[in-house]
Structure 1
């Protein structure tokens, strides 16, 4: 029945009794089905996946070590009362930045002023007594050769003059002490820095003294700011080797003399914008932890570093070199193999295994497997198969790697 229409085949089957009844029924169904004499439609084509690609870039980078550190003020001063008395006034606002010599508190000075004036009057009194004893001694010196006075009277005049002189010295020393007490009723900032809140309110009685004076507030020096961090033995040895190589013709100096640069990143920052240098390393490695403590010093001109913050600190360990970088989002993993998909000129996706280096923010260094100018897929990786044609859309911009 090849080459016959469905109707003709049905007639042929009904006219020849040798055709089975089942075949006749099947032909009848085909004759009744609409469009059954049309050819079958082609299979639906698979849609081309849409992906986002980013350009592989080549930039100058520097290898570095990253550590966790903590900021610490270069100086912290506790401001305490040096004399007893009632607090009259507070001359600053909590959290202000104060300058050295600025008045912070005032203690009622009336009593200390009176005591000081009394000590000054004592100087005048003892000075008058001294002048009198000195004049008497001068007269007695003239009378001794004439035997008008005895030797004993002359020696008494000498002793009286020396006693009066010592009394004047003691009165002056006491006046200096009372002057200091009066001076300490005005409490001034011993250094520049950010001041804490006032711990005592006006009107309270303060305890004075060199050891147990009332704590009034604290001042924290934010310029410069220190960052302390612990490094492992291998990193410390690397810094020491670098120091030794730079001092071939002389004995190696300290890391401070080497001026090793370092960079700090705060918790809400993606870059390392704060630039400083290492100026201290502990004299020994801790036997318990196998680490050594280093310190970076930062000028902190904008005072953005605050004491007590946990930060990331980066120390360069190589000279700048050119490197290939890709976005971290472009990487995929097949067991322990890292790879990317590269979109070629023909629009097809090609798998490339890559060897990775360090991380620079959202970018990763690629040691091998890619070249500048390649385009890697950063979005839509799950829809791509090797050799498959894709519809690629360029990403808006490639992020700039942070300071190395």
Structure 2
């Protein structure tokens, strides 16, 4: 009897456990069924990404070499005092542009005026003595034939006349010297250019002399302006063989005669707007570095170039040719491969591997992989993949123009 009751109890417990497992299984199946019946968007229903495109532009460009150089004034003159004296006045403002012959400083002239006046009076005195000696000689010449005076007296008259004549010449030379000293009390600009600050204030005693005169200021000639830079020997030979029509000659010539153009870009500029010519190459190539120093000369009429600046300089090395350009930001990189996304007429993306050339400001030359008129994606590259449908918006025309340097044929392969 006891064994029967135990079996009944165990059987009830098993039934309750089985019922619980059935309920759990039903819930799981119900959840799975709901998940399978939920609405999932298909690929065709996903939103179409919006991108910005720019057309491939065809322009006339010229390949160029690019170097780093430094500007240097065509002339730098130290203005020094040439006579002793106290500085009376300064006739310019620091940093002014001065013209050749313009008065810069004045040294007190009173003492030099008195000395010069004394020199002039000495000329008058010696001239009078000369006239007297000349008259005495004339009388002696008439008396010698008659024996009224001896030959010795006559020769004394001749010597006296020549001595008086020499003193006149000496007095005139001394007057020229004092006139020069007086002239040097007014210090004028020897060249036209930008003047530095005055190094001596009014009232100070200045030291004169040819070598140790007091330094008063410095003038820098800004027009023309030179740019010096170093090139390798192969480039040097190429420049020296060129002619004004970009023709090559067998024998190197004078660099100045080649009229090779060059262009300069300042640190805060985006283009090479300063135009000049190469006019000098060092007489020999350095055996240590294998380079030679070249100089470009720039008219610098607007005085936009200042001496001592670091600049980028470009020298064209090819004839102008038609090239395709795209914005630099359209390029993407897959390891060592450069590529772009092109939007086709069907508004689908297509990956194109490209071979690139030199940079033109924010634009890049494309040597192969694209044709004129192709539309490349410049914004939204991260949102697209090959063959994807996109909504393309054309970039405004103002942003699509390549840099002016590309059109003018002055840029380089950088």
TM-score by length of 1: 0.90
Task: Identify the residue that residue 177 of structure 1 maps to in structure 2.
Answer: 177
Secondary structure at the residue paired with 1:319?
A: coil
Which residue matches 1:275?
A: 275
- Cα deviations by residue, 1:268-308 (Å, 9 ceiling, x for unpaired): 11111111111111121111111111111111111101111
Report the counterpart of residue 227 of structure 1 in structure 2.
Answer: 227
8 A Cα contact 2:242 2:260, kept in partner: no
Equivalent position of 1:400 in the other structure: 402
| Residues 241 and 252 in structure 2, CA contact (< 8 A), matched pair in contact too | no
Deviation at 1:251, TM superposition (A): 6.5
Change (3 A) 1:36 1:23: farther
Q: 1:379 Cα deviation (Å)?
A: 1.9
Distance in 2 of aligned mates of 1:37 and 1:240: 80
Distance 1:196 1:37 in 2: 85
User: How far does the alpha carbon of each residue in 1:42-91 deviate from its partner, in whole angstroms, 9 at most, with x for none?
Assistant: 34654332222211111110011111111111111111101000000000
Q: Partner residue of 1:8? A: none
Match of 2:163 in 1: 163
1:56 alignment partner in structure 2: 56
Deviations 1:342-382 (A, max 9, x none): 11112221111000111111111000001111111112222
Q: Aligned with 2:257: secondary structure? A: helix
| Contact 1:137–1:161 under 8 Å retained in 2 | yes
> Secondary structure of the equivalent of 2:242?
helix
Please show how residues 261-340 of structure 1 align to structure 2 within 5 Å: 261-340=261-340
Q: Which residue of 2 aligns with 1:42?
A: 40
Identify the residue that residue 356 of structure 2 maps to in structure 1: 356
Look up the match of 2:4.
none
Distance 1:119 1:261, change over 3 A: same
- Alignment partners' CA distance in 2, 1:37 and 1:168: 128
- Secondary structure (helix, strand or coil) at the match of 2:253 reads coil
How do 1:171-210 and structure 2 match up within 5 A?
A: 171-210=171-210
**Given the superposition, is the C-alpha separation of residues 100 and 32 from structure 1 closer, same or farther in structure 2, using an over 3 Å criterion?**
closer
| SS of residue matched to 2:129 | helix
Distance 1:42 1:252 in 2: 76
Unaligned runs of 5+ in 2: 1-14
- Which residue number in structure 1 is paired with residue 149 of structure 2? 149
- Secondary structure in structure 1 of the residue aligned to 2:400: coil
Q: How many angstroms apart in 2 are the aligned matches of 1:284 and 1:37?
A: 84
Measure the CA separation in 2 of the matches of 1:30 and 1:91. Answer: 102
Q: Which runs of 5+ in 1 are unaligned?
A: 1-16
Describe the shift of the 1:116–1:312 C-alpha distance in structure 2 as closer, same or farther (beyond 3 A): same
Contact 1:272 1:402 (8 Å CA) reproduced? no
8 Å contact 1:243–1:253 — kept in the other structure? no
Evaluate the alpha carbon distance shift between residue 177 and residue 359 of structure 1 in structure 2; reply closer, same or farther with a 3 A threshold.
Answer: same
CA deviations 1:248-270 (Å, max 9, x no partner) are: 6x965312111001111111111
Distance 1:150 1:196 in 2: 71
Deviation track 1:156-189 (CA, whole Å, cap 9, x = no partner) reads 1111111111111101100000000000000111
CA contact (8 A) 2:130 2:168 kept: yes
Cα distance between partner residues in 2 of 1:164 and 1:87: 39
Corresponding position of 1:88: 88
- Per the alignment, in what secondary structure is the counterpart of residue 272 of structure 1? coil
Classify 1:335/1:28 alpha carbon distance in 2 versus 1 (closer, same or farther; 3 Å): closer
User: Aligned equivalents of 1:60 and 1:22: distance in 2?
Assistant: 84
Cα deviation, 1:200-255, whole Å, max 9, x if unaligned, reads 1100000001111001111111111111111112211322343498476x965312
Contact 2:237 2:252 in 1 (8 A): no
Q: How many residues align?
A: 384
- State how 1:107-126 maps to structure 2 within 5 Å: 107-126=107-126
Q: 1:357 to 1:159 in 2, by over 3 A?
A: same
The answer to whether the 8 Å contact 1:363/1:399 transfers is no
Q: Which residue of 1 aligns with 2:8?
A: none
The normalised TM-score by structure 2 is 0.88
Rounded to whole Å, the distance in 2 between the matches of 1:296 and 1:266 is: 15
In structure 2, what is the equivalent of residue 345 of structure 1? Answer: 345
